[in-house]
C-alpha cells in the first residue's frame, strides 16, 4: 500500500477522559479494494464515541486507536473495486464499520464503500454529517421494530439528544402522538418546539401518572429509551398492554432489572437494540437510506444542530457532550 500524504487525525493511546484525545500528524494510505477516501468537511459527534474512549462501549480500543463514526465531505480517492462513487462526490458516512479501525475523526477519512452515502443537496455539510447515525437509529426503532402507525402513543426518553430529536421527527412523520421526557424544565419548550406533543419533566412529575392522564389510562404503545437502570420498572408501568420497550443504550451506571410481573401482566416486549441491526443488514439498510433520503429531500425531516466546534477543539467538544446541556447534534468543522 503506497503512502500518499499526511493528515491530522484524532487518536488516543489510553482509556480515559476527554484529555486523552490527541490530534496527530500521521501518514494516510491510498484506499484499497472497496474503500473510499473522503476529504472531511464536518464531523458528527456521538455519545458512542465518548463511551468508546472511556472503554465502556461494544468495541474495545486497540491502541493507538482512532474513533468516530460520522463525517461529511468530498470523495478524494477510491479503491479499484468501488463502483458507486467517484472522485468529487459529496458524501457522508454511515456507522457500518469498526470505530477503532476506521474511526473518522480527522482531515481525511477512509471507510468501506458500503458505509458511504450521498446526502440530499438541500443539506449543508454540517447537516449531512448529522443524519445517518441518529436517524437510522430512530428508523430502526420507530419504523422497523415498532411499526408505528397513526395515533400510536410513543414515549421517547432523554429526548433532547440527537437520537431523541430524530425519533420525535420520525414518529411524527408516521402520525404518532409523541411524549418526550427530560429531567429539567429548561428543555421543555425546546422539545415542544421540536415536535413533541407532550413533555414530561421527570424531576417534577410522576411519569406513570402523567402518561395515564395523556393516554386516558391506556399507556404508551412504544417506549424508546437509552438509559436503562431501575427506571425501566417505571417505564414498564407506563406501557400499554402489548406495548414494546426498546433499550438502545446504557447511560445509567446501575443494573437494569427485568420488570417480570409487569411484563407478564401486560404481555410486554422488552428488547435491546443497536443501530448495527440496521447497518449490517444490506436490505434493511437500503430501505432505511431510501426512507430517510426522501424525507430529508422533501424537508419532512431536518437535523437539529446544537453547536459547532472547530477541529482543534476536539477535547472541548467531548467535554461539552458529557455536560448533557446540548439540544441536538454537536458538529465539528474541519
Tens of pLDDT along 133-165? 999 999 999 999 999 999 999 999 999 988 999
- The residue ranges of every structural domain in the chain are 3-131+303-333, 133-276
The predicted-structure confidence for 73-123, as pLDDT tens digits, reads as follows 999 999 999 999 999 999 999 999 999 999 999 999 999 999 999 999 999
d(C-alpha 334, C-alpha 73), whole Å: 10
> What is the band of 204 on the pLDDT scale with cuts at 50, 70, 90?
very high
CATH architecture of the domain formed by 133-276: 3-Layer(aba) Sandwich (3.40)
Element (H or E) spanning 221, and its range?
strand 220-225
What is d(CA 235, CA 252) in angstroms, rounded to the nearest whole number?
Answer: 14
Q: How high is the pLDDT of residue 1?
A: 43
Mean pLDDT, residues 170-179 taken together:
97
What stretch of H or E contains 90?
strand 90-93
Prior bond of 64 cis (ω within 30°): yes
Q: Does domain 3-131+303-333 have CATH number 3.40.50.2000?
A: no
- The DSSP annotation for 97-138 comes to S-HHHH---BSEEEEEGGGEEE--TTS-HHHHTTSHHHHHHH
Q: What is the mean pLDDT of residues 181-200?
A: 94
pLDDT one-digit tens code per residue, 16-48: 999 999 999 999 989 999 999 999 999 999 989
pLDDT digits (tens, 9 = 90+) for 238-267: 999 999 999 998 888 899 999 999 999 999
Alpha helices in 188-275 (DSSP H): 188-193, 207-214, 232-238, 260-266
Residue for cell digits 431523541? 164
CA distance 228 to 248: 8
Distance CA 56, CA 71 (A): 23
Q: Which three cell numbers stand for residue 44?
A: 458528527
% of the chain at pLDDT higher than 90: 92
pLDDT digits (tens, 9 = 90+) for 207-228: 999 999 999 999 999 999 999 9
C-alpha cell at 104: 473518522
Q: Are 134 and 162 in contact (CB under 8 A)?
A: yes
Q: From 269, 193, 208, select the one nearest 238 (Cα to Cα).
A: 208
Residue 2 has pLDDT above 60, yes or no: no
Instruction: Provide the grid cell at 61.
Output: 480500543
Q: What is the mean pLDDT of residues 61-79?
A: 96
Amino acid at each position: 500500500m503506497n503512502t500518499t500524504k499526511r493528515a491530522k487525525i484524532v487518536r488516543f493511546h489510553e482509556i480515559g477522559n476527554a484529555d486523552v484525545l490527541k490530534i496527530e500528524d500521521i501518514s494516510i494510505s491510498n484506499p484499497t479494494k472497496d474503500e473510499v477516501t473522503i476529504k472531511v468537511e464536518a464531523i458528527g459527534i456521538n455519545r458512542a464515541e465518548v463511551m468508546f474512549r472511556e472503554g465502556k462501549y461494544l468495541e474495545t480500543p486497540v491502541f493507538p486507536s482512532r474513533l468516530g463514526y460520522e463525517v461529511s465531505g468530498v470523495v478524494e480517492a477510491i479503491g479499484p473495486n468501488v463502483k458507486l462513487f467517484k472522485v468529487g462526490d459529496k458524501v457522508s458516512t454511515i456507522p457500518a464499520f469498526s470505530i477503532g479501525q476506521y474511526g473518522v475523526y480527522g482531515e481525511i477519512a477512509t471507510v468501506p464503500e458500503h458505509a458511504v452515502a450521498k446526502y440530499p443537496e438541500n443539506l449543508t455539510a454540517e447537516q449531512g454529517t448529522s443524519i445517518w447515525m441518529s436517524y437510522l437509529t430512530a428508523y430502526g426503532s420507530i419504523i422497523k421494530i415498532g411499526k408505528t402507525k397513526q395515533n400510536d402513543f410513543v414515549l421517547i426518553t432523554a429526548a433532547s439528544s440527537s437520537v431523541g430529536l430524530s425519533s420525535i421527527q420520525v414518529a411524527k412523520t408516521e402520525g404518532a402522538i409523541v411524549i418526550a421526557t427530560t429531567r429539567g424544565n429548561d428543555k421543555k419548550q425546546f422539545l415542544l418546539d421540536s415536535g413533541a406533543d407532550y413533555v414530561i419533566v421527570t424531576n417534577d412529575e410522576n411519569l406513570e401518572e402523567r402518561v395515564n392522564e395523556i393516554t386516558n389510562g391506556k399507556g404508551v404503545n412504544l417506549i424508546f429509551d437509552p438509559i436503562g437502570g431501575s427506571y425501566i420498572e417505571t417505564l414498564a408501568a407506563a406501557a400499554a398492554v402489548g406495548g414494546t420497550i426498546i433499550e438502545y443504550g446504557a447511560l445509567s451506571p446501575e443494573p437494569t432489572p427485568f420488570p417480570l410481573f409487569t411484563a407478564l401482566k401486560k404481555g410486554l416486549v422488552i428488547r435491546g437494540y443497536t443501530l448495527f441491526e440496521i447497518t449490517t443488514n444490506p436490505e434493511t439498510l437500503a430501505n432505511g437510506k431510501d426512507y430517510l433520503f426522501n424525507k430529508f429531500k422533501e424537508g419532512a425531516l431536518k437535523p437539529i444542530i446544537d453547536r459547532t466546534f472547530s477541529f482543534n477543539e476536539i477535547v472541548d467538544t467531548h467535554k461539552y457532550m458529557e455536560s448533557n446541556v446540548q439540544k441536538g447534534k454537536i458538529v465539528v468543522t474541519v
